[in-house]
Chain A
Amino acid sequence: MVERVYIFKGFERFWHWSQAALIMFMMLTGFEIHGSYALFGFEKAVGYHSIAAWTLIGLWIFAIFWHLTTGEWRHYIPTMEKVLVVAQYYSSGIFRHEPHPFKPSQLNKHNPLQRLTYLGVLLFVSPLIWISGWLYLFYANWTSWGLANLKLEWVATGHTIGAFLMLAFFVSHLYLVTTGHTVTAHIKAMITGWEEVESSDAENAQAGTEKSLSNQPWSPS
């Protein structure tokens, strides 16, 4: 039995894909600047990387505004509930074709592992990249900002660590996209907004959805 749930709204999908494109492009140009390979040439790579950075900053201003005003930020509140169950699913249940223990819904779109991962990215990887990248952009102003003792080496190393973590996230993320009800179920959801959810019977699915609803502190009850 397959059920369709509308999970990702228009802006969210736009945000996701434009951010995805920018981050991929920034990894491509960033690792060239790092000296890992030659593609655009150092000068162009730096230029593109900076333009992409400013574009991403602009995108994030809209995204933060959207998350705050719509209450969507709550999807990133961590929960330990069902974490083990979900982890168990990915480590064994998935191989036995058991149904996913978590049923996403508009009000609870991320499974607990996703919540933890995205929150980790938001709280650790992003700030590391953003702050170090911002300092990188404004290297010329360090002295006037009172940061004369800051070393480019520290900033660059921090930025590189962030980039590697983002790369690792990106690889895992690309793979986990294929672990839906079908290989393309998740990616279709991020394109159309509609997620196909497999369930053993309709009632269960319904119950799961409702359960998720009632789980949420802000849900109407």
Chain B
Amino acid sequence: MGLVSLRRSAGCVLAGLLYLFAASGVVADTKPLKLNTTADHSKFKELQREFQSAPEVTKACLSCHTEAAGQVHRTKHWKWEFLHPASGQKLGKKEVLNNFCISIASNYSACTSCHVGYGWKDASFDFTSEENVDCLACHDTTGIYKKPPGLAGHPQLKDVENPPGSGKITKGIDIAKVAQKVGKSSRDNCGSCHFYGGGGDGVKHGDLDSSLAAPDKDLDVHMDATGLDFTCAACHKGSSHDVAGSRYTPTAMDKGGAHMRGKEDKSNPATCVSCHDTAPHKQDARLNTHTGKIACQTCHIPEFARGGVPTKMSWDWSKAGERDAEGKQIVRKDAKGHIIYESRKGAFELGENVKPEYFWFNGDVNYTLATDKVDKTDSVTRINWLGGSPDDGKSMIWPVKVFRGSQPYDPVNKTLVKPHTAGNDDTGYWKNLVWDKAIEVGMKDAGLPFSGKVDFVKTEMFWPITHMVAPKEKALACTECHSKSGRLAGITGVYIPGRDANSLVDTFGWGIALFSLVGSVGHGLMRIASRRKHEEKENG
């Protein structure tokens, strides 16, 4: 007791003295406040050297951050593999295919420019290698760190003539500078891959593109660069290098409520509810009656691709392969300069400020894999599809970008195929425009059978929309849904006032109202007529 109070008073005296010193200017050089970190990496001897390769940088990182690589090894960012706990499907970028660039098999060197590693150039990549973990992709703060496609995830450190013989020199990056300036992950770090999914800015998601690097409030109320300025990690709160949030097991309905500090909460921290709780509308409590059935995103993301970057809405691979009179590949652009046709890829449709489509969604996402049978007589093959129904108690109405396409499949084996697209070789489709060779190589790489025959099937993919949250003033107005042909016109299993009415009740109801009116008018006319007669009689 006495000791404690003694310590306390000593502390007070010390604090008082410090204050006096500070106030009188005796403490001369207080360091300038170093923003949000306790370490200035440029002062670390380990980083004050030349690096011959990117993995050398990683080794330097790991000399202090001894467990970091092991943490990264456990994540989807590293493995590109995800075993779905419910369906048992083996998913992840390594396994699935899509209706954009289709598949990474046999295209590793191009695709793995977005892998958090170095050297994944074929299926033999060593996933236990620690030095091949790429720390800089997520921790670069300079913006100069780039991983061009074709280098299997390596950055380009030396000056290179590109294309060879052109005389155009692409300068290598100063990786020591990048290493000395590492910091926390920013929107730019995540965006360097996630904004460019599908092979270009905004192509895949529609709600993720480079406009979110520094968005204004209208585009995203949370990331607003001059306002709340959230990083991706503010919501996708990671722990041990594992970033929260998943496209394979998303949280469609979060009943958990807001997270509280100190209280263990294993639910997804990236949901709206994890901060805003389940009754977030304070001014107009009536809106809270919507939160049991409607995902926040449905009203608060009125449109996607709102930042001036168009997103692809469809991709028709069956149109690929045209050549001009000289036998060269063709590129066609729309009036705004956006590519709508490429010989190597086919025809595209783009969209900006796109209204989503809406579906009941319970968080289940299922995939058609390259091993699954596909039937062309089905009007459309769904590469992924969302589970959900109005009655399962787990579904909410979600906004979704439906990406429609047409892509190669094997009409004999009746499977989707994984073509070899990228690569400066004799079989890559993008260079040679020959399907059967490209598919043969791709399928062989994936260890899958291919008959040699090629046809095309119509496909769809479903991408729930969750970014580009508008400020509340820009949320959907009531009548966007509460009207006869509103946004939720196709949603079944829910009664929406203003949209729905029992037609029998309406017919009967207007009927009796009309009956009363006609009866009253008739009765009144008869009274008028009888009064005239009466008056005539009286007068006559």
Contacts and interface: CB of A to CB of B under 8 A. Distances in A.
Interface of A: 33-35, 41-43, 46, 50, 90, 94-97, 139-140, 143, 151-153, 156-157, 160-161, 163-165, 167-169, 171-172, 174-176, 178-179
B289 A34 contact: no
A160 B505 contact: yes
Interface in B507-522: 508-510, 512-513, 515-517, 519-521
B530 A96 contact: yes
Contacts of B520: 171-172, 174-176
A174 to B, nearest CB: 7
A139 B129 CA distance: 56
Nearest to A179: B527
A187 to B, nearest CB: 15
Interface of B (DSSP majority class): helix
A94 B508 contact: no
B497 A35 contact: yes
A175 B498 contact: no
B498 A33 contact: yes
B527 A165 contact: no
Nearest to B502: A157
Nearest to A50: B286
20 contacts: A33-B498, A34-B501, A35-B483, A42-B483, A94-B527, A95-B527, A96-B530, A152-B494, A152-B495, A153-B502, A157-B502, A157-B505, A160-B501, A160-B509, A161-B505, A164-B508, A165-B509, A167-B516, A172-B519, A175-B523
Interface in B165-210: none
A140 B526 contact: no
A178 B508 CA distance: 27
A35 B512 contact: no
Contacts of A50: 286
A175 B506 CA distance: 23
A168 B514 CA distance: 8
Contacts of B510: 164
A37 to B, nearest CB: 11
A69 B285 CA distance: 37
A52 B496 CA distance: 21
B482 to A, nearest CB: 5
B495 A153 contact: yes
Nearest to A32: B498
B505 A164 contact: yes
A176 B515 CA distance: 14
Contact of B509 (A139, A167, A176): A167
Contacts of B482: 33, 35, 42
A171 B505 contact: no
Q: Which 4 pairs between the two chains have the least Cβ-Cβ distance?
A: A164-B509, A175-B520, A153-B495, A95-B530
B499 interface: yes
A178 B513 contact: no
Contact of A164 (B513, B519, B523, B526): B513
A167 B285 CA distance: 30
B512 A168 contact: yes
A20 to B, nearest CB: 16
A141 to B, nearest CB: 9
Contact of B513 (A94, A161, A171): A171
